[in-house]
Chains A and B, each alone.
Chain A
Amino acid sequence: MNIIQHVANLLIRSVFHADPASWPWTWLVQAVVIGIAAFLAFAFVAIFAGPVSWIERRIAGRIQSRIGPNRVGPQGVLQWLADGVKCWLKEDLVPAAADRPLFLAAPYLVFTGMFGAFVVLPFGAQVVAADLNVGILYLLAITSLVVVGLLMAGWGSNSKWALFGGVRSAAQLVSYEVPSAFSLLCVVLLAGTLSTQGIVAAQGGWPWDWFIFRNPFMFAAFFLYFTAAIAEGNRTPFDLPEAESEIVAGYNIEYSGMRFLFFLFAEWANIWIMAAISAFAFLGGWQIPGIAPEQIAATKGWEFVGWQALSWTIFLVKATFLVFVVIQIRWTLPRLRVDQLMITCWKYLVPLSMLMVLGVLVLLALVPEGGGADTILRGAMVGLGLAVVLVSALRVRRTFRVDREHYREMEGRDLWYPPYRLP
């Protein structure tokens, strides 16, 4: 609110040549400035949702031995803009028998649910829209708007398939909120605060300071959270509500044009949000190795801006890497049947995540921070993490080599080509 006030005062002084403290219309200008800020935030979200769609389609293409969009703009980076424009220009179809107010309002509700989550994401050292002191809880709460929105879409479409999709989706989202919340509870226990900036501040820049490597239960909690988050976001292998080949896109089925794009928009934004939450809750967020947040807060001028930019970049890199992982999982795995999905949640994820909370509590009580046992645990976990990364990387390298040999034998050319020659 301070920034808003400053900007508003600046505007009032320069444009209207009035003193903000005594001018009767100050509040109006501030309201307008708030509105503009909200619009900018919306555009900001678009900047994330749009390119995520481009990344997804290019990665999907690569995985599937094809190219993906590469016509609109260099390497197709503007494809999402083109899609947006196309959808704006489409006819706004509302089925004659549909429940009109519900049908029209549903995409906006879903979108609000996703959009609201961006408010508390800590992008950088001082860069967060609103550092709520119930940040994590707010994240969990705002996504429940999405559930209501999906039910609205399913019912409002007045189609049995849409209702199927909406109800399945609501059941799935509501169920997977439980392991998701429990895993985040582990994080809150370690951090001692619900505020998102506080959680990041409780970690450090180096990997052994990240929450994921604090103890084995946190390591498992990361994967539990990641799985539950993928399910929350309706991504394969949990994309039953949008199962194209079974219920033909479920709750989306009657939507076309911009309303349809809003649902997709919300889905891509959600991928980014899940990755961002995993990044700041488990992987250290924007923390820069080697420098503490207080030191950053103490700098001034261009150095301050530089540190902010660096912390922003680190956070973006971590979140984008996880976005890649989510996308690759989607295009590799088949989907679970609805009862298998529910069984996975209630019989496996929920007990496991409760176990993680218990484990973290026990270790919190028994293992003092900074002591010998703590260092051993952290070291072991970092070792485990490195081992996982190494094994995966070696496997990829081996497969690549085999394929390259095979390709050279078959085609007579080399498989590798430099990125600047991407088709």
Chain B
Amino acid sequence: MTPAEIRERVSAACPGAVEEFQADLLDPVLRLRPDRLREVCRFLRDDPGLRLHYLRLVTGIDRPAAADSETPGGIDVVYHLWSYELRHGCQLRVRLDRANPVVETVSDLWPDANWYERECFDLLGVTFAGHPGLTRLLMPADWVGHPLRKDYARPERYHGLPTSRATVLAEGRAAEVAPAMHDTKAQPIEGYLRLNMGPHHPATHGVINFLLETDGEILKKATPDVGYLHRGIEKLAEQVGYVGTMPYTDRVDYLGAMFTNHGWALAVEKLLGVEVPRRAEFCRVIASELNRIASHLISTGSLAMDLGAFTPFLHWIRERETINDIMERICGARLTYNYLRFGGVSRDIDPETLDKIKHWIDHFEPMMDEFDRLISSNEIFVRRLAGVAVISPADAIAYGLVGPNLRASGVAWDTRRDEPYSIYPEFAFDVVTGRAVHGTLGDAYDRYDCRLREIKESLKILRQAMAAIPEGEARVKVPRPKPAANEVYARVEGPRGECGFYVVSDGTEKPYRARFRTGSFTAMTIIEHLSPGLMLADLVALIGSLDVIAPEIDR
């Protein structure tokens, strides 16, 4: 169904709810009346012809009143919705009064909206009426101000610590300060042991805190407490501009840096209407698939390490070293690549590097069998993962899981095949879904197994790409990108799933709003739902199998 048809259907079912249909945007948006939001959302989700079960993203955009115009200031909240079954989606927008932005929550319709709305509240000050626990998510609980507002002034001090570099340099070493309160703690439950897992913990894949209520070994609830790695990259993007944000996207997902680069480049290229040369697309795909393999190596290896098998991880690191060396030949860096540019890639891949890649693939494929023999069919490993933390397909979609997490639960959706971008339609590869090889469909073993098989699919794509790479230029120069005022949501399939970039441009060199949609963010939302009844060791297996990367969550 096209956006216009969706608009007709919505107008028919909820008359008067749609105030405006912004059809001239790259992704058409329905502007709704704020008090009709819930009604429309419920209709969109439940109508058999629409079935928009997947809430992709909730974004808040601050639009202060212009100095000269009469349009009052407001805060936009934009909802991106999608249906996996019917392959269509729509975008909604509500404009709220800037002085008192209140709108009803949709977290009971789509569970992943819970955290999205908390982030919106945290960074923009929007109140969501009816939200079960509207507290700050990324900033500390006692932070003053809403950072993503355009008129945000950073407080001078926080618990006695100066917040600007100049002050720090002027004053020298800070005196005794009270410990910062990052208090998003859930209420302790009587009779249960309250434990803190993190933020420094070997098994939490980054700096994440978990507040556990346990009855001995068995968890009653595990609440993730994030925000330790919040660096304000979205706000930084507004200040450094399109070109300057490219290296920052590396730091959003450091294990899949090529994909965040690609997503950002894709978004801006759509805004500019730039066509990328074929050779550059091939370079992008080759580098991306190598990066995907590297990321999956780390995630499967570290899952094994979290479960006590130290050796497979080190074998995978050994293999990944060669990928790092190849990447260094391609773009000069081993981890944070900053390889893509708008209109192509920064450097061409020379034939010698292609040879090295081919050589490495031939060496690596038998290694996968060795790895399987070592750990994948090990009785203890299987027992630890099979049947643990089963995620049903409906839950996976409702909680916004993407990537291998989603596919392991049986939903066969891969952005490379189903919302194609770049030259992926030219390659033949399978979309890997869970097979319930041990235990139930959608358990931790399936997620692990999916990643391993995805490595094989990436190897297939790499071979095809290297065989078909044409001659040509690696880049089309795009001087000083200044896209006209528009909005776009571009997504790529990263190792942690859909890596989406929602960019609002305003005709200048800097984006008006840059929003990153990452797979780990929504993966965290499901942990609290799954945790009752799990054992502590199972929680570790769950976090490892979801492959969360902390910087992706916090940005």
Contact A160 B202 (CB under 8 A): no
**Residues of A close to B359: CB separation below 8 A:** 410
Q: A161-B195, A245-B202, A247-B536 are in contact. Are A333 and B309 (CB under 8 A)?
A: yes
Q: In this complex, which of B305, B363, B537 has the most chain A Cβ atoms within 10 angstroms of its Cβ?
A: B537
Complex CA gap A349/B448 in Å reads 31
Find B193's partner among A66, A160, A246 (CB 8 Å cutoff): A160
Contact B195 A160 (CB under 8 A): yes
Find A334's partner among B309, B315, B536 (CB 8 Å cutoff): B309
Q: A63-B311, A340-B383 are in contact. Are A246 and B537 (CB under 8 A)?
A: yes
Closest beta carbon of chain A to B231's beta carbon, Å: 26
Q: Contact residue range for chain A?
A: 20 to 34
Q: 7 A-B Cβ contacts within 8 A?
A: A64-B311, A65-B315, A236-B308, A332-B374, A335-B308, A335-B380, A337-B384
Find B314's partner among A64, A160, A236, A335 (CB 8 Å cutoff): A64
Contact A246 B203 (CB under 8 A): yes
Find A237's partner among B304, B374, B375, B380 (CB 8 Å cutoff): B380
Q: Give the B-binding residues of A (Cβ under 8 A).
A: 60, 63-66, 160-161, 236-237, 239-240, 243-248, 331-340, 406, 410
Complex CA gap A338/B314 in Å reads 25
Q: Tell me the interface secondary structure of chain B in the complex.
A: helix
Q: A160-B195, A339-B217 are in contact. Are A243 and B315 (CB under 8 A)?
A: no
Closest beta carbon of chain B to A326's beta carbon, Å: 15
**Residues of B close to A338: CB separation below 8 A:** 217, 535, 537
Q: Give the A-binding residues of B (Cβ under 8 A).
A: 193, 195, 201-203, 217, 304-311, 314-315, 318, 359, 362-363, 366, 374-375, 378, 380-381, 383-384, 535-538, 540
Residue of A nearest to B202 (CB): A245
Contact A66 B314 (CB under 8 A): yes
Closest beta carbon of chain B to A234's beta carbon, Å: 12
**Residues of B close to A65: CB separation below 8 A:** 314-315, 318
**Residues of B close to A60: CB separation below 8 A:** 310
Complex CA gap A244/B309 in Å reads 11
**Residues of B close to A336: CB separation below 8 A:** 380, 383-384
**Residues of B close to A331: CB separation below 8 A:** 310-311
Contact A406 B308 (CB under 8 A): no
Find B536's partner among A246, A335, A406, A410 (CB 8 Å cutoff): A246
Contact A64 B315 (CB under 8 A): yes
Q: In this complex, which of B308, B318, B536 has the most chain A Cβ atoms within 10 angstroms of its Cβ?
A: B308
Complex CA gap A341/B209 in Å reads 27
Q: A244-B202, A340-B383 are in contact. Are A334 and B217 (CB under 8 A)?
A: no
Complex CA gap A269/B249 in Å reads 50
Interchain residue pairs A-B with the least CB separation, the first 7: A335-B308, A64-B314, A334-B309, A334-B308, A337-B537, A334-B307, A245-B203
**Residues of B close to A340: CB separation below 8 A:** 380, 383-384
Complex CA gap A340/B193 in Å reads 22
**Residues of B close to A332: CB separation below 8 A:** 309, 311, 374
Complex CA gap A269/B384 in Å reads 30
**Residues of B close to A339: CB separation below 8 A:** 217, 535
Complex CA gap A74/B260 in Å reads 47
- Give 20 A-B pairs besides A160-B195, A336-B384 with Cβ atoms closer than 8 angstroms: A64-B311, A65-B315, A66-B314, A237-B308, A243-B308, A244-B202, A245-B202, A245-B203, A246-B306, A246-B537, A331-B311, A333-B308, A334-B308, A334-B381, A335-B309, A335-B380, A337-B383, A337-B384, A338-B537, A340-B384
Closest beta carbon of chain A to B439's beta carbon, Å: 14
Complex CA gap A224/B431 in Å reads 45
**Residues of A close to B309: CB separation below 8 A:** 332-335
Complex CA gap A66/B362 in Å reads 22
Complex CA gap A397/B149 in Å reads 67
Complex CA gap A106/B195 in Å reads 24
Complex CA gap A274/B538 in Å reads 30
Residue of B nearest to A61 (CB): B314
Q: A64-B315, A332-B374 are in contact. Are A248 and B535 (CB under 8 A)?
A: no
Complex CA gap A406/B362 in Å reads 10
Contact B384 A334 (CB under 8 A): yes
Complex CA gap A72/B535 in Å reads 42
Closest beta carbon of chain A to B548's beta carbon, Å: 15
Contact B378 A334 (CB under 8 A): yes
Q: A335-B380, A337-B535, A410-B363 are in contact. Are A245 and B314 (CB under 8 A)?
A: no
Closest beta carbon of chain B to A368's beta carbon, Å: 40
Complex CA gap A237/B314 in Å reads 18
Contact B380 A333 (CB under 8 A): yes
Q: A337-B535, A338-B535 are in contact. Are A245 and B383 (CB under 8 A)?
A: no
Complex CA gap A236/B201 in Å reads 20
Closest beta carbon of chain B to A208's beta carbon, Å: 33
Complex CA gap A64/B309 in Å reads 11
Complex CA gap A216/B109 in Å reads 64
Complex CA gap A38/B538 in Å reads 46
